[in-house]
């Protein structure tokens, strides 16, 4: 069930304080981020937030916190933006991202190499890439020949790699002989006794 709340009749800070005290059991959520920003602007402008005393600003912030669910730090950033820019709008700037150097094909090629060689260490795998390009002139390894050994481990964590990797490590049999029971062979020297040890 969705209820639309109209708080346009709340024009005094005393009403805000009474609402915040009595509405502790009421959870509020905003449908969209744009709607949340628009509502914050209206409240700030209606009560002239930046002209209020510190105590009154605290009461209004508590109201905005309760109604929007924003953290105090988020609300502080939004109010600072409203003060400097005059409005709060959704940022349309694309986020800064690092250019992708290694493609899905490179990750698949890494998985293929690991499947063939048994998932060697990073430096050993890099050496395979280097030899494949320079010695065997395989153009598929043109980008991977310059990869750092450390970044090989990063690519192995990718979903593409894990879907194609088929390297399984078998349990290694114990080669250390423990607890062999046999009589001592002193080769004629005195002073040897037989001791059974438990590991």
> pLDDT digit string (tens) for 141-187?
999 999 999 999 999 999 889 888 876 666 667 666 666 677 777 78
Same domain, 52 and 108: no
Number of domains in the chain: 2
Of the pLDDT bands very low, low, confident and very high (cuts 50, 70, 90), residue 3 is very low
115 backbone dihedrals φ, ψ, rounded to 5°: -65, -35
pLDDT at 23 over 60: yes
% of the chain surpassing 70 pLDDT: 76
Share of the chain above pLDDT 90, in %: 26
Looking at per-residue pLDDT, the higher value among 29 and 109 belongs to 109
The answer to whether position 74 is within a domain reads yes
Within a domain: 189:
no
**Position with higher pLDDT, 122 vs 70:** 122
Write down the pLDDT at residue 99: 79
- What is the 3-state secondary structure of the chain? CCCCCCCCCCCCHHHHHHHHHHCCCCCCCCCCHHHHHHHHHHHHHHHCHHHCCHHHHHHHHHHHHHHHCCCHHHHHHHHHHHHHHCCCCCCCCCCCCCCCCCCHHHHHHHHHHHHHHCCCCHHHHHHHHHHHHHCCCCHHHCCHHHCCHHHHHHHHCCHHHHHHCCCCCCCCCCCCCCCCCCCCCCCCCCCCCCCCCCC
Q: Considering the chain, what is the average pLDDT of its residues? A: 80
Answer yes or no: do 114 and 69 share one domain.
Answer: no
Instruction: Give the up-direction half-sphere exposure of residue 17: CA atoms within 13 A in the CB hemisphere.
Output: 8
Are 69 and 110 members of one domain?
no
**Least confident segment among 22-31, 42-51, 72-81:** 22-31
Together in a domain, 70 and 26: yes
Residues spanned by the domain of 130: 104-164
pLDDT score, position 29:
59
């Amino acid at each position: 069930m969705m209820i639309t709340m109209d708080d346009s009749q709340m024009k005094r800070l005393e009403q805000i304080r009474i609402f915040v005290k009595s509405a502790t059991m009421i959870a509020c959520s905003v449908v969209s981020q744009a709607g949340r920003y628009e509502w914050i602007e209206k409240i700030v402008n209606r009560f002239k937030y930046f002209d209020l005393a510190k105590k009154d600003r605290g009461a209004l912030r508590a109201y905005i916190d309760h109604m929007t669910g924003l953290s105090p730090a988020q609300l502080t950033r939004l109010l600072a933006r409203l003060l400097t820019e005059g409005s709060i709008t959704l940022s349309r700037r694309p986020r800064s991202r690092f250019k992708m150097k290694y493609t899905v094909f490179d990750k698949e090629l890494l998985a293929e190499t690991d499947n063939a060689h048994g998932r060697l260490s990073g430096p050993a795998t890099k050496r395979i890439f280097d030899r494949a390009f320079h010695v065997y002139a395989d153009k598929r390894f043109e980008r991977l020949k310059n990869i750092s050994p450390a970044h090989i481990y990063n690519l192995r964590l990718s979903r593409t790699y894990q879907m194609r990797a088929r390297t399984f490590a078998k349990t290694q049999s114990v080669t250390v002989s423990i607890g062999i029971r046999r009589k001592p062979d002193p080769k004629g020297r005195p002073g040897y006794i037989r001791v059974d040890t438990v590991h």
